[in-house]
């Protein structure tokens, strides 16, 4: 492609590659900074919940994996520590699936293949000058600090523990979540297609307990997950590696601006470089892909005379996505506070609230559509 890029995207994760593919469809010349990954990196055990709106987006850019790398979720069961419960059903909502659980390595590989065949994208090891730089490096972004962007983070007293399980019983395309009296949150996300027996695990626990769990062998971890899940999928076996990371609520300020010391160059942040949230609602990637879609839309529909570096233009993106992020932040933070509080009164309140919510059809349907990105 040579020199003369329109946009430089720093970070070639799921959000960065999706954005590059969207921009290339608009005939923009994109430099995608994708340095070689470490050969000794641990296997990625994560799985993401992708809502129907973003499933369509990924299909549009040919980034949707085939086969059993994606599993349609037909039902969702959320169980509180007593009798409170909420159940969602794709049939009740009149949709093929509430969302899809996607194997992260498979999604990344499919997007990388789509990028490889897109002539308007050039993969580079180092950043290059461009009218617009988009930072998609994740929450640990170095570029964000170089640009002078503040990162306001509030740590939860929890860590996420992730692994995968082989289950005695099939998951039946049901995503399951439990809130325990101790304030822990456990999620089983179905993998391996409609008849699969594998689930991805995300277990949010107190930081001290996470350190304790790190010392357990596979049998001890499987036994604890079996107990917390009420043995709903029968005998469990750990499959593969584990991962753990601290949980934070964070946002960057600002999301757009001028590149210091470079006339005519601006920047925008997207995905986890702009914000981070608790995983209990499974919306982190969906918000990040929403950033990519909105930024691509704003750039594609700009006035012909307006350059890509125009701050008025970029603030359209920032206003739209910051509002969406603030709504999601409020929802996830309040849910974490409510379900993470061990006081008996809080427990009674959340169980009563869940039981009431489960019976409120119109409100429940509205929340489901918001989570699916179809409201």
CATH number of 7-154+246-372: 3.50.50.60
pTM (global) more than 0.75: yes
Tell me, what's the pLDDT at 1? 44
Residue ranges covered by each domain of the chain:
7-154+246-372
d(CA 98, CA 283): 13
Q: Which has more confidence, 237 or 281?
A: 237
pLDDT at 360 over 90: no
Q: Tell me: the pLDDT tens digits for 36-75?
A: 776 666 778 889 999 999 999 999 999 999 889 999 999 9
d(CA 3, CA 129): 9
Cβ atoms of 372 and 317 closer than 8 Å: no
pLDDT at 369 over 60: no
d(CA 244, CA 215): 12
Question: H/E element holding 369?
Answer: helix 361-372
Q: Which has more confidence, 349 or 131?
A: 131
């Amino acid at each position: 492609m040579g020199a003369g890029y329109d946009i430089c995207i720093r970070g070639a994760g799921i959000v960065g590659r999706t954005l590059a593919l969207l921009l290339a469809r608009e005939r923009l010349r994109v430099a995608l900074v994708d340095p070689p990954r470490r050969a000794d990196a641990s296997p990625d055990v994560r799985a993401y919940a992708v809502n129907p709106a973003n499933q369509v987006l990924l299909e549009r850019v040919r980034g949707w994996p085939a086969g059993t790398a994606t599993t349609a979720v037909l039902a969702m069961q959320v169980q509180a520590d007593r009798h409170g419960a909420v159940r969602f059903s794709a049939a009740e909502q009149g949709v093929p699936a509430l969302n899809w659980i996607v194997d992260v390595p498979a999604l990344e590989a499919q997007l990388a293949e789509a990028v490889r065949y897109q002539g308007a994208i050039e993969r580079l090891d180092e950043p290059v000058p461009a009218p617009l730089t988009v930072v998609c490096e994740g929450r640990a972004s170095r570029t964000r600090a170089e640009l002078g962007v503040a990162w306001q983070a509030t740590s939860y007293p929890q860590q996420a523990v992730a692994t995968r399980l082989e289950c005695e019983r099939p998951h039946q395309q049901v995503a399951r979540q439990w809130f325990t009296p101790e304030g822990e949150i456990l999620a089983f996300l179905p993998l391996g297609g409609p008849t699969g027996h594998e689930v991805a695990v995300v277990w949010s626990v107190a930081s001290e307990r996470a350190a304790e769990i790190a010392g357990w062998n596979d049998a001890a971890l499987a036994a604890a997950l079996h107990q917390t899940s009420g043995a709903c999928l029968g005998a469990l076996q750990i499959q593969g590696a584990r991962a753990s990371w601290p949980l934070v609520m964070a946002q960057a300020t600002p999301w757009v601006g001028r590149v210091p010391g470079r006339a005519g160059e601006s920047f925008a942040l997207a995905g986890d470089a702009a914000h981070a949230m608790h995983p209990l609602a499974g919306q982190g990637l969906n918000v990040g892909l929403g950033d990519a879609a909105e930024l691509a839309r704003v750039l594609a529909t700009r006035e012909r005379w307006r350059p890509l570096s125009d701050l008025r233009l970029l603030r359209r993106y920032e206003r739209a996505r910051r509002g969406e992020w603030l709504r999601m932040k409020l929802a996830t933070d309040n849910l974490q506070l409510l379900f993470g509080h061990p006081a008996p009164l809080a427990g009674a309140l959340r169980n009563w609230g869940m039981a009431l919510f489960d019976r409120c059809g119109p409100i429940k349907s509205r929340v489901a559509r918001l989570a699916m990105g179809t409201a």
